[in-house]
Amino acid sequence: MSVSIIRREIEILKKEWIANPCWEIEKTEGFEKFHDELLNFRLAFEDDCLQVMMKDKEQEYAAIKKRVDDEYNGDVWSYVHEMESQLQRFNRLIRVSSVRVDA
């Protein structure tokens, strides 16, 4: 098998794995010779995903901090109390709704 065909098969495998990364790509049968390359690929992909998730969380926390600063003058406890009150209201609504459905 030519090198270009093997490279194409590896690239196809990588694309398929990205679409559904539910196995350890480096352990794919028939690609044992490329274990290190595929392991590095998986680890780099997982690291990229982690970086994106961390950036998303940082943005989420920054938005919450801004809201607390803007609406509650930086008083975190007032914000937490408001969130608890909203959760209690939602829970009451859910209970009322489930009673109506069961009736």
For 35-80, write each residue's pLDDT tens digit: 999 999 999 999 999 999 999 999 998 998 888 888 878 788 888 8
Helices (H), 20-75: 35-72
pLDDT in tens, 6-28: 999 999 999 999 999 999 999 99
The continuous run of DSSP H or E covering 90 comes out as helix 76-102
Closest Cα partner for 24 from 43, 47, 10, 49? Answer: 43
**Stated pTM of the model:** 0.62
Q: Name the amino acid, one letter, at 11.
A: E
Q: Do residues 37 and 25 touch, judged by C-beta distance below 8 A?
A: no
